[in-house]
Chains A and B, each alone.
Chain A
């Protein structure tokens, strides 16, 4: 009886996992086959949409890479992402460290307050922010995004890192100060290496957050050459009511590959990043 129950529960688990995998990988599969299908194969209603009915082609891919500004969008995205990651780290790391170490209960409340600002939706904020952008003369430039994105990456990352720093015993840091480090030295030599998973989490999270951000990028940039992927692909590859599915899917697939790889390799660290501080 027990054995039967075990088989049932195992097969239930297996079946659930199978459907979940199917559910999460299907969009990738769909993007992949649409990228390499010929137009006729894509649009003919008599064809099986899940399979290649005609030989594959790289026409859409080459169109995307060489006849559109896709590579420029990639570069813009990468550039904005990198600068925002650097700004976020420069501000969030010391902020989180201070809040977790010095202020006691006040620090905790301040941390929660900072996190709450992350929850204000961009749809509310982009109008007042556009005034600030024009004040700085940053309209239509990537500088606008570099200025705006840290407003939501810093609060979240500060809050995330606070949990990390809190999980490192104060004794270790004080020991470092007795062993000849200044407070800054103790932070660099001891606290940073111990919170490397937190810092990695922040880098990955900030990068993906800036990569898929849409509303600010759409509101502040309309010049094609300054667009990022998230806005460039849907605005430039949909002409009126004509959807260029092949290049569109290719444009969605390419940036998702590095992100998928990144998450696969750092999944464990990423999860520990989110759960640290919550679980002792």
Chain B
């Protein structure tokens, strides 16, 4: 186990800056998720931590040592690639023992460790199979078992669940989190899926265009986004953002509800909501429509998420009075997009 520190790290490919002055501190045993859209530099950052990519400027510290010029094998890190990168000519057993063999561990100890790792992920019966004879889920387990078998300092995962179907992904997520909690190895996990990020991470670092926009617990990042990018990236549907005077007003769809659902004494903001579309998703309903401010003539498109069991009748083409608690309103600067302190 080790702490990881990324200090002012940048990476350029020619003129293109793919990672731009990133600073992240990851405590021992922490589970950090690097979250961002495709091409935001998160995988490049992970590869730099692994030692597969040179660092243009800045420093990466692992376990109190600068590792900028250290080869991947000397960093004692384990990594699971998106493709799992299992060695196709080796059996599952040989795949898992590969990192141990490179450490010149004796045969008996290797067998013991491989069996321990295989047992942990329920793949004991697959040890003699070749990777091509495994399903997607089994391959993923083998890849993780191979990564864990030598007790690395840091565990790096590059979208390991993206090749699994939705059902399997949910159970794999749960297993992964339980496993990480059990072994307590510092973990850095790259994903573009915000649900994965919310469910897995102790902390989330939201990235876009090579920059880290916010680092915080899933709750912080969701409830108090640092800027409009984070606000619009997290949540499905994302936060409603409406320009009003010199600010951008933000509120989550689930906080935007018919006025009679809120207590007026708590301090609320009311809006006239003209419903244009209604979607019943089973447990929730999404209500799409426009709101209008007295100060401006233009209409703004917003979404509301209502719990189905609240049993509210909404029809499209009608106008309703909706409200938001003042404490649920967020304000962002129009020019910079950064969060402002509450009014």
Contacts and interface: CB of A to CB of B under 8 A. Distances in A.
A175 B95 CA distance: 11
Residue of A171, A174, A176, A180 ringed by the most chain B CB atoms within 10 A: A180
A147 B220 CA distance: 71
A246 B91 CA distance: 54
B81 A179 contact: no
B79 interface: yes
B319 interface: no
B52 A182 contact: no
A178 B102 contact: no
B79 A182 contact: no
Given A174-B52, A193-B89, A194-B88, A181 B102 contact: yes
B87 to A, nearest CB: 6
B198 interface: no
Interface in A177-235: 177-182, 185, 190, 193-194
B87 A172 contact: yes
A179 B52 contact: no
Contacts of A181: 73, 102
B49 to A, nearest CB: 11
A193 B95 CA distance: 14
Contact of B78 (A172, A174, A178, A193): A178
Interface in B46-102: 50-52, 71-73, 77-79, 81-83, 85-89, 98-99, 102
A169 interface: yes
A43 B197 CA distance: 88
A178 B87 contact: no
Contacts, number: 52
Interface string A38-66: 00000000000000000000000000000
Contacts of A172: 85-88
A178 B50 contact: yes
B71 A179 contact: no
B103 interface: yes
Q: How large is the interface on B (under 10, 10 to 19, 20 to 34, 35 or more residues)?
A: 20 to 34
Interface in A120-139: none
Nearest to A196: B89
B146 interface: yes
A176 B147 CA distance: 11
A169 B85 contact: yes
A177 B52 CA distance: 9
Contact of B87 (A174, A177, A185, A190): A190
Contacts of A180: 73, 99, 102-103
A186 to B, nearest CB: 10
A175 B89 contact: no
Contacts of A174: 50, 52, 72, 81, 85
Interface string B137-157: 000000000100000000000
A179 B98 contact: yes
Contact of A178 (B73, B88, B103): B73
Nearest to B103: A180
Nearest to B52: A174
B85 A177 contact: no
Interface string A150-185: 000000000000000000010110111111111001
A109 B128 CA distance: 42
Interface string B19-62: 00000000000000000000000000000001110000000000
Interface of A: 169, 171-172, 174-182, 185, 190, 193-194
8 contacts: A171-B83, A172-B85, A174-B52, A174-B81, A177-B51, A178-B50, A179-B102, A181-B73
Given A175-B87, A182-B73, 12 more contacts: A169-B85, A171-B83, A172-B87, A172-B88, A174-B50, A175-B79, A177-B51, A177-B72, A178-B78, A179-B98, A180-B102, A193-B89
